[in-house]
Structure 1
Amino acid sequence: MTRPEVGYLLPTRDQAVHGRHEPKRLVAQARRAEALGLDAVWAGDSPVTRPRADPLLVLAAVAEATERIALGTAVLLPALRHPILLAHQLATLDRLSDGRVIAGVGGGFPNPHTEAQFAALGIEFGTRISRMTEALEIMRLLWSGDEVSFRGAHFDFRDVRLAPPPARPGGPPIWLAGSGPAALRRVARHADGWLPYPIDPTAYAADLAVVESVAARPITPALYVTLCLDDDPDRARERLRVSIERYYNAPLEFVASIQALFAGTPGEAAARLRAYAAAGARHLVIRTATDDHEAALEEFADRVLPLLRADGSR
């Protein structure tokens, strides 16, 4: 089994839920994640539905405060932004970080809260997927460094060149979220990586086989997963419930039916993550369900990360 890379989701949403708006504290956590040997830090996006600090601005600060760690968005919603501006921001961030950016993107989960977010920004919710796929095509064109033109269903422009170009030729890798037949086909057609959250490793392996059977390029298989660690599994489950229902404003049972969640001991968590790695996951994006994110990061790095690193080789 190939040892997976491991990333940490900065708690931008959790800060907002608790009414604490301390972006410098997020930057300090990113520095600590790098010092603890993690491979990436990630930041989520939702300006209205689940508001939090802007992910690209947070990651720009992290880029200056770190040296090695990759910087990812988990996930950014391209349909909410004009692709010329988004391509410009990501290219500049890639320059600031010396080529460490991963553009994790998604269409937005279909529910009334997400629809309200699109409505607030004057964007028709039903167009979000076609807007996103056009945006991905446009960003790659602009990241070429050439003067480009585009005419599509949503965007139309002539003779545009971005400066600065990204640090890497072709720009940051694009990792696309999503499960289900249509989403998997989009991953295969448009993405460099896949960032889903299937509820079990068997489902993950089956979906990955679909992606790899039709992908036009090599795909990095990743996983977004929420962990709540406690030596008492019952207490871990109750803490997970509180965190998830506060974060998503939805019952734990509903979120658990669609998203990878785990509550239990560090050893059990490592075993669960190794099962996803055995199913093909090569990068794990870890979100901790907790009220103390600094302590949870330390606990994960001390008690789970060594168990993940002990198996396999890179």
Structure 2
Amino acid sequence: MSGLQVGYLLPTRDQAVRGEHEPGRLVAQARRAERLGFDSVWAGDSPVTRPRADLLLLLAAVAEATERVALGTAVLLPALRHPILLAHQLATLDRLSDGRLIAGMGGGFPNPNTRAQFMAVGVPFGSRISRLEESVDAMRLLWSGETVSYRGEHFAFSDVRIAPPPSRPGGPAVWLAGSGGPALRRVARLADGWLPYPPTTATYAEELRTVAAERRRIEEDSPPRGPVTPALYATLCLDRDPEKAAVRLRASVETYYDAPLEKVASVQALFAGTPARPSTGSPGTSRPEPVTWWSAWPPTTTRRTWSCSPTTSCPFCARSTHDHVRTRPRCLARTLGLGPGRAPAARLRGPYAHPRPRRARRPRTP
């Protein structure tokens, strides 16, 4: 992976909040994201706290509907599942996608709603992190394609082999979420990538250095695994009127998380503003406000997540969203200075488009 890569987070929760329950539209959005130049398509996991379409079943459909984009979970909660079953599902999904899967995983944010979700499925909330770690270790064994045994505090099995094995040797890349000392050490020890959403660039830069240093320390006594791929999950909302952008961001975030914006902003990267270029400064040197915000983050080989709320017109070129569905992400890409055909990741919060009729896919080369 090289350079900036951007992905589209499918609005599974947003659709459920609106009471639509039409996963076929989500698959259509994934196809459109691929056509528009996105590098990856992602889906989130929360069966009880924030109910939505099952992310693995949805990504299986997306795998068959797309050919190029990477498919990611942002993020999967492995502690809610048994590692044998989850390893089998992820291996099959990696096969369906021809090795395009990224298994983003996390422990679950510590709040009452998440605790209730774990209680509902009979998993002690306090064990979620150790279950996550055991699951990663056990699944990597199972992804070898060999008959393996594992014994941990929570899971144990003997002489188990799953089929099919993943498309890639060793299984899909595992990216872990998390912030703070223990989580960063866990990323350095277990993960291929890091998918955080820190609220400030300073925090991100400091924690990225921590992950890299811890990885180097681990590799002093073990075979080198290469650097951890850094990523960023950021929620942005643009409007020609900055006050409207702020209002839309608040409405979107508070609906999605069922929490005050200020509380979410204290732990997550958020931005609301205008894409218009500043009126001051030397000609050719001013940049749109979101580009300044975007560029402040440390340069990384990363996937970044872009999120916005529904609006009646495109804040990037003022065209109506009704007739601007296919080109709107390209306007957004130009606003961020990513160049033609390079759209940033987007969790489109709202019914931006009705899916077009599904076209027949050309057969794959054997």
Instruction: Give TM class, smaller chain.
Output: over 0.9
SS in 2 for 1:247: helix
What are the Cα deviations for residues 213-245 of structure 1, in whole angstroms up to 9, with x where unaligned?
011432100011111121111100000101111
Identity of aligned residues (%): 65
Using structure 2 for the length normalisation, give the TM-score: 0.81
- Using a 3 Å threshold, how does the CA distance of structure 1 residues 232 and 3 change in structure 2: closer, same or farther? farther
For the pair 1:236 / 2:249, whether they are aligned, the reply is no
Alignment of 1:291-302 (within 5 A): 298-302=327-331
Q: Distance in 2 between matches of 1:97 and 1:3?
A: 23
Question: What is residue 171 of structure 1 aligned with on the other side?
Answer: 171
Question: What is residue 347 of structure 2 aligned with on the other side?
Answer: none
Using structure 1 for the length normalisation, give the TM-score: 0.94
What is the one-letter code of the residue matched to 1:210? T
Determine if contact 1:177/1:195 at 8 Å carries over to the other structure. Answer: yes
Q: Distance in 2 between matches of 1:291 and 1:85?
A: 41
For the pair 1:13 / 2:13, whether they are aligned, the reply is yes
Alignment of 1:160-239 (within 5 A): 160-215=160-215, 216=219, 217=225, 218-239=227-248
Question: What is residue 25 of structure 2 aligned with on the other side?
Answer: 25
Give the RMSD, CA atoms, in angstroms: 1.9
After TM superposition, give the deviation of residue 299 of structure 1 in Å: 3.1
Q: Distance in 2 between matches of 1:56 and 1:212?
A: 30
1:288 to 308, 324, 346: 308
Show structure 1 runs of 4+ deviating over 4 A.
291-298
Determine if contact 2:290/2:336 at 8 Å carries over to the other structure. Answer: no
Q: Distance in 2 between matches of 1:194 and 1:271?
A: 23
Q: Distance in 2 between matches of 1:28 and 1:265?
A: 29
What is the one-letter code of the residue matched to 1:299? R
Q: Distance in 1 between matches of 2:122 and 2:327?
A: 42
Determine if contact 1:104/1:176 at 8 Å carries over to the other structure. Answer: yes
After TM superposition, give the deviation of residue 89 of structure 1 in Å: 0.5
After TM superposition, give the deviation of residue 155 of structure 1 in Å: 0.3
SS in 2 for 1:210: helix
After TM superposition, give the deviation of residue 306 of structure 1 in Å: 6.4
For the pair 1:133 / 2:154, whether they are aligned, the reply is no
For the pair 1:37 / 2:37, whether they are aligned, the reply is yes
Determine if contact 1:202/1:279 at 8 Å carries over to the other structure. Answer: no
Question: What is residue 104 of structure 1 aligned with on the other side?
Answer: 104
SS in 2 for 1:149: strand
What is the one-letter code of the residue matched to 2:308? T
After TM superposition, give the deviation of residue 174 of structure 1 in Å: 0.3
Q: Distance in 1 between matches of 2:290 and 2:14?
A: 21
After TM superposition, give the deviation of residue 270 of structure 1 in Å: 3.1
Structure 2 residues not aligned, in runs of 5+: 220-224, 276-287, 313-320, 341-366
1:264 to 273, 287, 295: 273
Determine if contact 1:3/1:308 at 8 Å carries over to the other structure. Answer: no
Determine if contact 1:49/1:113 at 8 Å carries over to the other structure. Answer: yes
- Using a 3 Å threshold, how does the CA distance of structure 1 residues 80 and 193 change in structure 2: closer, same or farther? same
After TM superposition, give the deviation of residue 286 of structure 1 in Å: 2.3
What are the Cα deviations for residues 271-314 of structure 1, in whole angstroms up to 9, with x where unaligned?
322322x3435211223333689978853432235634349xxx
What are the Cα deviations for residues 74-117 of structure 1, in whole angstroms up to 9, with x where unaligned?
00000000000001000000000100000000000000000000
After TM superposition, give the deviation of residue 203 of structure 1 in Å: 1.1
What is the one-letter code of the residue matched to 1:287? S
What is the one-letter code of the residue matched to 1:289? S
Higher CA-based Rg: 2
Q: Distance in 2 between matches of 1:308 and 1:101?
A: 28
Determine if contact 2:173/2:193 at 8 Å carries over to the other structure. Answer: yes
Determine if contact 2:41/2:70 at 8 Å carries over to the other structure. Answer: yes
Determine if contact 1:73/1:105 at 8 Å carries over to the other structure. Answer: yes
What is the one-letter code of the residue matched to 2:105? V
Structure 1 residues not aligned, in runs of 5+: none
Question: What is residue 303 of structure 1 aligned with on the other side?
Answer: 332
What is the one-letter code of the residue matched to 2:292? A
Determine if contact 1:204/1:279 at 8 Å carries over to the other structure. Answer: no
What are the Cα deviations for residues 114-145 of structure 1, in whole angstroms up to 9, with x where unaligned?
00000000000000000000000011101111
